[in-house]
Amino acid sequence: PHLQDYWYDTFQDFKVPCHVESLWQLKRIKEKGHDRYDYVFIDEWHRFRNNDAINYELLKSICVNKKIIIISATPYNNNYDDLKNLISLFQVPRDSNIPHLKNIDQFFNNIKTELRRIDRKENFSEYKEKLKESSKKIRERLLKYIMIRRTRSEIMKYFSDDIKTQSLTFPDANTPIKWLYQFDAKINSLFDDTIS
């Protein structure tokens, strides 16, 4: 709910007509009728990683036959099923329109099977290499067709003319400074109690 005003104002700044709803209103949107919408923008997509959740099913039914734009500032710590669930909001997993990748379910199942063949504890370096290889395969065969990624370094590299023209800057981040300190006896005891 706290993002509703932000998104409404943003769309108004660009003179884009919109209707902004909280994810807590999905049931009402579904019941009220969502056919009048052509586009669905989903912010904070990590809330929809679990395809067993009621909100996921509601959102998926709302997304049918619409153009979907999914936004995340923190696309980290997601497993393959999370990614597949997200993509399934706008692709039919076993009949996708992604070039040379008709069956997204099978694609992810093959990757997971390859990783399961390696004992993670005994052959960690081999597992790590297979994980890197799998990530590259996902980027090249799938994500490059559906994802736009913008990091600070990419923006500075590929949009430098725009940055100069608009006099935009990124703040410089200083190197972190290691700061060592000691707890006193009382805080140390409290810390140990909390950890245990």
Burial bucket for residue 167 (CB in 10 Å: 0-12, 13-18, 19+): exposed
Confidence at residue 48, expressed as pLDDT on a 0 to 100 scale: 84
> Cα-Cα-Cα-Cα dihedral of 9, 39, 51, 119, to 10°?
-90
Contact 142, 98 (CB under 8 A): yes
Element (H, E) at 68: strand 67-71
Residues in a beta bridge with 34: none
What is the pTM for the complete model shown?
A: 0.69
Residues in a beta bridge with 46: none
Q: Name residues of the chain where pLDDT drops below 70.
A: 1, 74-77
pLDDT digits (tens, 9 = 90+) for 27-75: 888 888 778 888 999 888 878 888 888 888 889 889 888 999 988 776 6
Confidence at residue 76, expressed as pLDDT on a 0 to 100 scale: 65
CA 64/CA 31 separation, integer angstroms: 15
